[in-house]
Structure 1
């Protein structure tokens, strides 16, 4: 089994979704499998990864807020906790060779590294982001890398996506030599900022995006409809009023963001190339038809631009060089801004960090044994928590039911993938997420969601996300009984899952 996760890949940014970005290898996986268009990941990197590897809510798993440890407050351990049984450990116990290469972001201490959750082999970046060419990082001390739980140096001259592919292929070679089934997790840091690409990719999209993000947001939406990813009946929601319209943007900033989008597109194409390398490895060894391949992104398109502001602004300005001729090369720090992020999140509202659909819905492709009717576009509602139970079922492994850990909240997608069912969850299934001052609870077509921190329960809005996927019509006033029901559900889910707000930290 092979799990490939792209980092901050926008919903609209695959060729198979109609994108201008060339992704032939990922598109081929989709043509041979199922493209799931209503995959709800997490609002940010770490909670999404916690849900993927545990099949559980991020608070239950221990990742209440990424990069945040609050002593004495359950849910904020900033690691995968003993409340759950991690997927890699269960697969290892079932005889699988388990490995990960790339981004970890699920604990900063050595005893919280991949071996602690059952990965037999690992080569990872501990933190959530950093240079793709060295260990400069974005905070004092720079990035940290671990090989099988032991700190190692970044190899001179290496580029992240190529290096992580080399490492995961070496781990797969090891499993193949031992004649063992494998679970390999290619946890890429691409196309997460800083936007850096190998020299050969620097100008592949030069001039492509000069019309700006407003034009391309509308164009992406139309292309998604033409590709059959979203229905013709959907409407593009209004733009985020906090984002400056393209034609009002300072010319220098517009040029910077345009270059950022060119580099982002090049990173996605480069990522696709390395996905192709893994597929070729499988084919050369006769394993392709026997391997379940899952490709997804961890959240919606990104929002931050630390070159021009934000918490890491001073460090980034002091350690990187964004002279025009340097942009995209080693030592530069480029991001493409919230406007291009919103364009990548078409057809939804908002983007990464939000619990609106634009922050949650991400690409998901699955192909391999048990996946029937290839070239299928499937709109059933699925979540990041459904990946682990799906893989466990394929492996014939079982999740503990003896009361020692919390039960999984996700459900297997295999009946949907095989064509035996048209859904994974019925209309009574509840999904609840709280992260960094934003929350949502969903049951069937109904979603109660907050917009901006600090969290205020009284400001949660009610949407029918089947009729209104852009979340433009708040129904609290017209559906008071439904609103009361969903508000009560949110409160009961908070209690059931142990969701605590950061403000509820214990007194010392």
Structure 2
């Protein structure tokens, strides 16, 4: 071999070694899947107290870590923005839904702010294959699309509300977006007829196959529409639950509460929150209405069950592809159970639960969803913001933590920090010519490795002028235009005993923290044109 040949051979060998190192590093970095469900309450899956069978999610919890005090923002678009950016919602430009923009107010841009960067953008620049399936709801009509915010592949709805390919079709106007291209629901690409929950999972696995073909680690954001209204599910799934809810919400709520106590999810001394005054006792519900209520809840249960089955399909797909062990799966909900449409919900259209119907759960059943907490979606009492969080990662979670519950307060803002920590991605200070605000959260790595979180800052909440601060064991919370309430969350997480009058100095101190945070993160004062005008009440008043 002459000298030139030796040099070329050595150079080729060096490049091969570098490529092998890079490939090894890529394989060592975890894949990340975030599964977000829509309008699911705290107690709606088996390992959090539900009677609805969810064996696949229960298995993830049994073989992972599940959190008992994890918080979302109490509403759809704000949660999605916070989850993807690691910022508080107003800070990320999404103080409300993506249809409500207030000119001149950076907290209400109805799209992700330029001062925020998404998890997909951070991971894409770190060499990850990034994909989304499902609901976007982050300013699609304002040019904020999955493609513009870091997703390599996407099959998404602009907002949601679609479950069957027959809801719209070629003539109906409803559209899917495949990698940014509009397609009718019944496009042959999607092999109709389909049910949305299954479609998102099927295409999530298709995108994972692309990532594996490219030998890249992947990030999949699987954003289910279920169990958001309109409540729709395959008829054979609904039929499995018919008659099981004739027991009524009162008895089922007590059964969920007792199960939560038995499995160690709750403390005995907390008690169970009161049912709202306009939710009747089941024994007082007329016989002719009971079948309707049973049907509504059966549809909802079928949506939860089908979603769980899709999680099983996803996990089996990861096993078949030999990537489950090094995939961090996170499962959570965007807000608490939804009481919109009043106590009784809605029950409209042909064949309720089918593609031509309009069914809402209603407050009566939402009190069951959020067992044992007060309030619902929109609010920042525990019923609005407490969500299950399940973390599963066979290769990454310490053995002694497997199957454990973690009771340390955590928040959506922590997910970006956790993912950046584990993937060793670089979080930028500038993106596309815009200064990027620092991450607000902290990594949850200590939890998965068996240590305590070192959180220096409180957790803050604001939605529609409902406000809260969680600082250690203390929480102040108020309904819009109402005085602050104070709760000791170690002794009273169900918020039954307001201590504001006993500890006015603590309320004042925490309220000052809230005011400083609200100013810093672009939360602006109560706005009549946004949320209506109400006169503040002078005295603390117990709320249902």
> How far apart, CA to CA, are the structure 2 residues paired with 1:212 and 1:291?
40
> Which residue of the partner structure matches residue 297 of structure 1?
333
Match of 1:328 among 342, 353, 373: 353
Match of 2:185 among 140, 147, 154: 154
The correspondence of residues 334-349 of structure 1 with structure 2, limited to 5 A, is 334-349=359-374
SS in 1 for 2:130: strand
The answer as to whether partners of 2:344 and 2:363 remain within 8 angstroms in 1 is: no
SS in 1 for 2:90: helix
Match of 1:422 among 452, 461, 470: 452
The correspondence of residues 354-503 of structure 1 with structure 2, limited to 5 A, is 354-368=379-393, 369-372=395-398, 373-401=401-429, 404-419=435-450, 421-423=451-453, 425=455, 428-451=456-479, 455-456=480-481, 459-501=483-525, 503=527
> How far apart, CA to CA, are the structure 2 residues paired with 1:376 and 1:357?
22
The answer as to whether partners of 2:163 and 2:195 remain within 8 angstroms in 1 is: no
The answer as to whether partners of 1:305 and 1:337 remain within 8 angstroms in 2 is: yes
> Which residue of the partner structure matches residue 52 of structure 2?
21
> How far apart, CA to CA, are the structure 2 residues paired with 1:438 and 1:413?
27
For residues 410-465 of structure 1, what are the alpha-carbon distances to aligned partners after superposition, in whole Å with 9 as ceiling and x for unaligned? Answer: 1110111111x12352xx422222112312122112222122xxx32x52222222
Gaps of 5+ in 1: none
Q: TM-score, normalised by structure 2?
A: 0.85
Match of 1:125 among 157, 160, 168: 157
The correspondence of residues 139-178 of structure 1 with structure 2, limited to 5 A, is 143-155=174-186, 156-178=192-214
> How far apart, CA to CA, are the structure 1 residues paired with 2:262 and 2:282?
25
The answer as to whether partners of 1:41 and 1:360 remain within 8 angstroms in 2 is: yes
CA pair 114-223 structure 1, distance change in 2 beyond 3 A: same
1:80 maps to 2:116: no
For residues 71-90 of structure 1, what are the alpha-carbon distances to aligned partners after superposition, in whole Å with 9 as ceiling and x for unaligned? Answer: 22111111111111111000
The answer as to whether partners of 2:168 and 2:185 remain within 8 angstroms in 1 is: no
> How far apart, CA to CA, are the structure 1 residues paired with 2:449 and 2:281?
45
1:69 maps to 2:101: yes
| Stretch moving more, 243-252 or 491-500 | 243-252
The answer as to whether partners of 1:256 and 1:336 remain within 8 angstroms in 2 is: no
CA drift at 1:182 = 0.1
CA drift at 1:488 = 1.4
> Which residue of the partner structure matches residue 316 of structure 2?
280
Q: Which of the pair has more CA radius of gyration? A: 2
The answer as to whether partners of 2:344 and 2:364 remain within 8 angstroms in 1 is: no
Q: How many residues align?
A: 485
CA drift at 1:15 = 1.5
> Which residue of the partner structure matches residue 2 of structure 1?
33
The answer as to whether partners of 1:381 and 1:424 remain within 8 angstroms in 2 is: no
SS in 2 for 1:495: helix
The answer as to whether partners of 1:110 and 1:150 remain within 8 angstroms in 2 is: no
The Cα RMSD (Å) is: 2.2
CA drift at 1:196 = 1.4
> How far apart, CA to CA, are the structure 1 residues paired with 2:118 and 2:147?
11
CA drift at 1:252 = 4.2
The answer as to whether partners of 1:382 and 1:424 remain within 8 angstroms in 2 is: no
The answer as to whether partners of 2:163 and 2:197 remain within 8 angstroms in 1 is: no
> How far apart, CA to CA, are the structure 2 residues paired with 1:296 and 1:136?
29
Gaps of 5+ in 2: 1-31, 187-191, 531-544
The answer as to whether partners of 1:441 and 1:447 remain within 8 angstroms in 2 is: yes
Q: TM-score, normalised by structure 1?
A: 0.91
